[in-house]
Amino acid sequence: MTAQLTEPTTRTWQADPYTDALRTGQGPLYLRRRDGWLLPLEVERWCAEPDAADHTVLSRCTGPVLDIGCGPGRLVAALAGLGYAALGVDITPEAVTRTVRAGGSALCRSVFDPLPGEGGWRTVLLIDGNIGIGGNPTAMLRRTAELTAPGGSLLVEVAASDVDERVEVHVEDGNGGRGESFRWARLGTRALCTTAGDAGWTPSGTWQAAGRHFVRLTR
């Protein structure tokens, strides 16, 4: 299972145009589904300081914190600034470089690889749609359960709509640049809570901020 989930995403997210967008801190950047549907990726927000919605996530964190798919590291750096022990994990070298440059700690590694502190993280983050990594939310939820301490929390950002889909997508920049196809998933609140129960998590709260939707799960 590890090899099946890790290899495709590693090839994809280390390639342009995603790396180029992180390097410049600017889009446009999209996920495109096979049927042509586009999901804009908020590169500028990811590369900026945490916004009001992000602060609702930060305020619910208890250290140590693991941020899966940390991207350019805005949350990891903010947590470090607040005095938390925090680690970001991302398979894109440019994301790790930006996280460290911002003052955070990060590893260039898949979440399905061995990680420090397994079973001891009090808060694990899957923000910016990262429940979709690998296209298998059940596998992701089971893996995060392995990483999280008993009684710890998983904070997940979900889709605003009531969606439950596993799809094949690729990254493109709107100017002809595109990456390889890979598997992704999108879940709304209802779908996440249903899937979470099967993976050993208990939903323990939901909230919204600035048009974004979040769920707290407890192990």
Q: What's residue 15's pLDDT? A: 53
Whole-angstrom Cα distance, residue 183 to residue 120?
Answer: 29
Domain range for 13 is: 2-218
Q: Report the Cα 119 to chain-centroid distance in Å.
A: 19
Query: Could you list the pLDDT tens digit for every one of the 219 residues in the chain?
Result: 333 333 333 345 555 789 999 999 999 999 999 898 899 999 999 999 999 999 999 999 999 999 999 999 999 999 999 999 999 999 999 999 999 999 999 999 999 999 999 999 999 999 999 999 999 999 999 999 999 999 999 999 999 999 999 999 999 998 888 888 899 999 999 999 999 998 989 999 999 999 999 999 999
Which string of b and e fits 44-78 if b means at least 16 CB within 10 Å? Answer: ebbbeebeebbebbbeebeebbbbbbbbbbbbbbb
Instruction: Please tell me the predicted confidence (pLDDT) of residue 206.
Output: 98
Q: What is the CATH number of the domain that holds 136?
A: 3.40.50.150
Return the amino acid letter for 13.
W
Phi, psi of 48 (to 5 degrees): -95, 180
Overall number of domains in the chain: 1
pLDDT of residue 1: 30
Residue 123 — φ and ψ, nearest 5°?
-135, 135
- Both tokens of 175, joined, read 């100017």
